[in-house]
Amino acid sequence: MTDSGAKAPLVLVSNRGPVAFQDDGSTVRGTGGLVTALTGLASHRPVTWIASTMTPMDAVRAREANGPITVRSPAGGEYQVRYVASDPDAYEGFYSVFANPMLWFIQHYLWDLSNAPDIRSNEVAAFHDGYQVVNADLARVVVEEIEGIEDPVVMVHDYHLYTLPAMVRAARPDVFLSHFVHIPWTQSDAWRVLPSAVRNTLYEGILANDIIGFHTTSYKRNFLQCCRDLMDLEVDFQRGLVHFQGREVWVREYPLPIDAGATRQIASSSRVHKFEVELLRRRRDHLILRVDRADLSKNVLRGFSAFDLFLDQHPEFRERVTFIAQLMPSRTDVPEYAEYLEKIEALVAVVNHRHGTPDWMPIQLKLRDDLDEAMAAYKNYDVLLVNAMFDGMNLVAKEGPLVNERGGVSLLSENTGAHEELGEYAISVNPFDIQELATCIHAALTMETEERERRLAGLKEIVTARDPGDWIDEQLADIRAKGAAG
């Protein structure tokens, strides 16, 4: 194989693209941490980005173009994108039944196994007639895109596309496939929820890659263990290898950094400043902050319960502290998510009723996705709460400390990917221990200024040590090394 990482055209494939087209022809930035990561990759070197259509206008533009479209993201950057429209019923089964919640729940340990899931014909059909169909639609376009190219390189992303690599390799055995998984990889027993035939197809799909990447060492180790336990494959934990169908599959960790320069630039914008003026006008002595999607894995309810307990145990902080929670509603078409959002709103009402006064509302719940508003709060929190049950990386844990100007203390779940990098300077919390979290809130709010500043400086140093270019270069270097190894 030639120097693949350096010379061969690069194809990205993911469920979401960098932008979605609106009815008036304008574009909005694609949502989620994955898009944030990939826009950095796409701006780092020329790529063609293949993604599913998200809006009716995406589908119109895809039909009109019948090939790559040059799009400019509102967040900056120009990309060559091929949008792929799948049958709406197939996409519904792919996204809302199988990928979310089935795979997402498995990979975040979210199933209450005594009650759910019940695997019936609907779930199996969602895999065969939904997940597999959408993966095949995208795989077909990938094969078209690399037609006539010698030693093509395809970088596949996330849990939506586990079976696509095997489809592409069947059509192009010479392709170099790299797959990055942006969410946790759970231990073997979590995967036994799936029927064995479905599970085997997923594993055979992802093992068709040459390199499989994760955020952390623990996720890498879990994947290797799964290959041994569930597929009875020979694995090498020391070297990060799986032996599959006569090939060596490399399994690696590539912790995802943030773009510090771009984040600081946003933090200094005039719109952020306007939000900041209003926040400072209304703030009390202390500010606790969380910024999340309203996803079950983020553990929002236990965070509010811990704050409720903290106020019970430390009444001296009443009317002196405000908890701002900026939550983006997520996957509200999935019943579990709609129900979770209702529970969040109900618990906030209870806590505010129990502790609030005519002049003070303990929790300010903001159900919206506004990066500028979040950035204003990042700059001014005293405590940043990231208590996810399990999280692939959690970029909030990196963005907040980077721009914070108040010696803000991070309370960081030990089950986030970010904890592997940031745990030394954060206060580590068990996301299921509400009493511990309440105690840690008090410890953070009463911490000496010198210690707060020491911890924040340590977090800033780690967060700025690598940038998205390094993340991409590490993967491309492994692509080159494995290509040279054959």
Q: Which tens digits make up the pLDDT trace of 232-266?
A: 999 999 999 999 999 999 999 999 999 899 899 99
pLDDT exceeds 90 at position 485: no
pLDDT exceeds 80 at position 103: yes
Q: What is the pLDDT of residues 197-209, one digit of tens each?
A: 999 999 999 999 9
**In sequence order, which residues have a C-beta less than 8 Å from that of residue 262 and are 6 or more positions away?**
76
List the structure tokens of 194.
Answer: 């799936």
**What mean pLDDT do residues 326-345 have?**
92
End-to-end CA distance of the chain: 6
pLDDT score, position 97: 95
How far is residue 416's CA from residue 472's CA, in Å, rounded to a whole number? 21
- What torsion, rounded to 10 degrees, do the Cα atoms 399, 400, 402, 405 define? 150
How far is residue 12's CA from residue 14's CA, in Å, rounded to a whole number? 7
pLDDT score, position 43: 62
pLDDT score, position 449: 98
**Residue 78 — very low, low, confident or very high, per pLDDT cuts 50/70/90?**
confident
**Residue 77 — very low, low, confident or very high, per pLDDT cuts 50/70/90?**
low
pLDDT score, position 244: 98
Query: What's the half-sphere exposure (Cβ side, CA atoms, 13 Å) at 372?
Result: 12
For the beta carbon of residue 474, count every other beta carbon within 10 angstroms: 16
Residue 363 identity: I
pLDDT score, position 33: 64
pLDDT exceeds 70 at position 380: yes
More confident residue, 138 or 69: 138
**In sequence order, which residues have a C-beta less than 8 Å from that of residue 89 and are 6 or more positions away?**
129, 130
pLDDT score, position 4: 43
**Residue 147 — very low, low, confident or very high, per pLDDT cuts 50/70/90?**
very high
Q: What is the pLDDT of residues 277-323, one digit of tens each?
A: 999 999 999 999 999 999 999 999 999 999 999 999 999 999 999 99
Considering the chain, what is the average pLDDT of its residues? 93
**What mean pLDDT do residues 168-177 have?**
97
With a threshold of 0.85, does the pTM exceed it?
A: yes
**What mean pLDDT do residues 443-464 have?**
98
pLDDT score, position 408: 98
Peptide bond into 101 cis (omega under 30): yes
How far is residue 183's CA from residue 193's CA, in Å, rounded to a whole number? 18
pLDDT score, position 2: 43
Whether residue 160 contacts residue 192, with contact meaning beta carbons closer than 8 Å, is answered with no
List the structure tokens of 26.
Answer: 């304008």
Q: What is the pLDDT of residues 3-50, one digit of tens each?
A: 444 455 689 999 998 888 888 878 887 766 667 667 666 666 778 999
Q: What is the pLDDT of residues 405-448, one digit of tens each?
A: 999 999 999 999 999 999 999 999 999 999 999 999 999 999 99
How far is residue 210's CA from residue 249's CA, in Å, rounded to a whole number? 5
pLDDT score, position 6: 46
List the structure tokens of 223.
Answer: 């994947």
**Residue 330 — very low, low, confident or very high, per pLDDT cuts 50/70/90?**
confident
From the list 162, 165, 94, 89, the residue with the least C-alpha distance to 123 is 94
Q: What is the pLDDT of residues 393-404, one digit of tens each?
A: 999 999 999 999
- DSSP secondary structure string for all residues of 427-439: EEE-TT-HHHHHH
